[in-house]
Amino acid sequence: MPSEKMLMNGSHVVAEAAVRAGCRYYFGYPITPQNELPEYLSARMPEIGGTFIQGESEIASINMVLGASVAGGRAMTSSSSPGVSLKQEGISYMAGMELPGVIINMMRGGPGLGNIAPSAADYFQATRGGGHGDYRTPVLAPGGSQELADLTFVAFDIADKYRTPVMLLGDGLMGQVMEPVVFPDFINLEDLPKKDWILDGCKGREPRALFSLLLGQDGQLYKHNLHLQEKYDQITANELRWETKTQDEDEMIIVAYGTAARIAESAIEELRAEGLNVGLFRPITLWPYPMAALRELASKVSKVAVFELSMGQMVEDVVLSVGDRAEIHFYGLPGGIIPTPADVADFLRSASRGDGKVGRRIDV
């Protein structure tokens, strides 16, 4: 049965959702603004017979996730931007070894240690593979607390289905905001498909092995990469997610994800009252990016506005999707600043007038 309506902060929501989604192995190293997540699990995991370990570092933690995944468990780590940078080597290894696992990034201001305020400047890192090699990481971007819960389930399912690390990309604001959430029911771990590749002791069966280093002279790595690419094509075909809120009379759409999309939605409500009709396109999977859906929508309007809590990262995917089908305008703010709906409304008015007073036009 789903839970009753509960009031929790976003970090706690992810933690409880992970437990209900069958995560029994959590490894992490503290960093603001997501410490409530490990704090919650440090108490919760022992209750349900799971394992909570505060690793000696971020690198140790992601490699513990790798190990737990090798042994067949649903495993997770969480961090915030600088910590996620440290995990990139492990994520690349997991992608190469085809190991499922969930990585939570509650983004904060960067680069470097940056600050502890909300930001969304890790889009490039998350969607372009922050580690080395020809791999992709499915990236889910929740729009609020209920989606933090729901997409945590989705993250574990995609991870297992395709044997890949999956990233849930939130931000510091989302981690702190409290709103009512209804949790899906606990999954039954016994109901999950059996994994026929895990290393769980070979008594009574042929031994198995998992490799990260593929030196075979018969094009072993070449073939492996082609196999990975086939998998990424399948993910792109099957797992695209997005939300649109549009009306026929829209002259412009705004593209935003996560917290930025919520702020944009309030701005849109304000503008509709003024007679300026703007629709919302919210990508939920950032990789794969819902390019075709955005392209189709963009061909119905004259202008596409992009709003990000960064100086301009997702806008590149918007440009790839939209091309010259519509004018593209961008407005972004660096980490540490939380714009209000009024700021975004000013940008949309300016984009509508085309005077460039707020934000800028992107030349395609």
Partner 1 sequence: MITRTTFAGFGGQGVLLMGYILSHGAMHKGLNITYFPSYGAEMRGGTANCTVTVSDKKIASPVASNPDVLVAMNGPSLDKFEPTIIKGGLIFLNASLIPEAPSRTDVEYIQVPIVELAKEVGNARGANMVMIGTVCAKTGILSLEETIKGMQAAMKGKDKFFGANEKAIERGFAFAKDGR
Q: Smallest gap, in angstroms, from Cβ of residue 339 to partner 1? A: 8
5 binds partner 1 (CB under 8 A): yes
107 binds partner 1 (CB under 8 A): no
Cβ atoms < 10 Å from Cβ of 337: 13
Residue whose CB is less far from partner 1, 80 or 127: 80
Structure tokens at 13: 């929501």
H or E element that contains 176: helix 172-176
Structure tokens at 259: 């917290």
7 to 46: interface string for partner 1, x by CB under 8 A: x------------------------xx-------------
176 to 215: interface string for partner 1, x by CB under 8 A: xxxxx-----------------------------------
CA distance 104 to 152: 9
305 binds partner 1 (CB under 8 A): no
- What SS3 class is residue 296? helix
CA distance 341 to 260: 9
Which amino acid is residue 75, in one-letter code?
A: A
Cβ atoms < 10 Å from Cβ of 334: 15
115 to 154: interface string for partner 1, x by CB under 8 A: -xx-------------------------------------
Q: Which residues of 348-362 are buried (b: 16+ CB within 10 A; e: fewer)?
A: bbbbbeeeeebbbeb
Residue whose CB is less far from partner 1, 176 or 225: 176
CA distance 125 to 88: 9
Residue whose CB is less far from partner 1, 159 or 345: 345
342 binds partner 1 (CB under 8 A): yes
List 24, 262, 282, 329, residue binding partner 1 (CB under 8 A)? 262
Pick the stretch among 14-22, 67-75, 266-274, 281-289 that binds partner 1 (CB under 8 A).
266-274
Size of the site for partner 1 (CB under 8 A): 25
Q: Is 228 left (phi over 0), alpha (psi -120 to 50) or beta?
A: alpha
Pick the stretch among 148-156, 168-176, 188-196, 271-279 that binds partner 1 (CB under 8 A).
168-176
Residues across the chain? 364
Residues that bind partner 1 (CB under 8 A): 5, 7, 32-33, 116-117, 172-173, 176-180, 262-263, 265-267, 269, 338-343
